[in-house]
Amino acid sequence: MSSFGGDSNFCPECGNILPLPGIQNTVCCPCCSFCIPVAEFSGQEIHSTFIFNPVEQSSVAQEDEDSEMKGPVIDRRCARCSKEGMVYHTRQMRSADEGQTVFFTCIHCRYQEKEDS
C-alpha cells in the first residue's frame, strides 16, 4: 500500500521527486527502494515554466531613500543628537585585502558617520 498518491513524477512510497527516465528499464527513487518500469511513463509529456521577475520588482531595484534605515540597530551614541541607537551596514570600499567600511545612521536624526576597519 502506497503512502502517497497522485502524480507519477513523485515516489508513492516516500514522496520524493523521481528522476527522469533514462536508458535503464526502471526508474528508481534516490531516497528509498521504490522502482517503477519506464513503460509507466510512456506517452507522458513534461512541461516546464520559468517566470522571471521584472527588474522593477527585484531587491536591487527596491533600494529607496529609506534603505539606510534598514538593518540592525546597535547601542551607539549619535555624535549630533547624543541619543542611543544607530543602524549600521558594511561595504567593501577598498581592495579585498583591506577591511570593510562600516556606515552608521542615527535612527533619530538620520546623521550618518562612517568607520574604516
Q: Would you state the pLDDT for residue 68?
A: 63
The answer to whether residue 54 sits within a structural domain is: no
Number of domains in the chain: 2
Same domain, 36 and 74: no
State the pLDDT at residue 82.
94
Q: What is the mean pLDDT of each run of 10 residues along the chain (117 residues)?
A: 68 86 86 87 77 65 58 91 92 84 92 87
Same domain, 35 and 1: yes
Give domain status of residue 21, yes or no. Answer: yes
Residue 50 located in a structural domain: no
Q: What is the predicted pLDDT for the residue at 33?
A: 84
- Which residues carry a binding-site annotation for Zn(2+)? 11, 14, 32, 35, 78, 81, 106, 109
Q: What is the pLDDT of residue 84?
A: 93
Structural domain for 26, as ranges = 1-43
Assess if residue 4 is contained within a domain.
Answer: yes
* Binding positions: 11, 14, 32, 35, 78, 81, 106, 109
- 57 within domain boundaries: no
pLDDT at 40: 80
8 A C-beta contact, residue 37 and residue 26 = yes
Cell (9 digits) for 46: 513534461
User: Domain with 72 in it: what CATH number?
Assistant: 2.20.25.10
pTM of the shown model: 0.43
DSSP-derived 3-state class of residue 68: helix
Model pLDDT, residue 61:
46
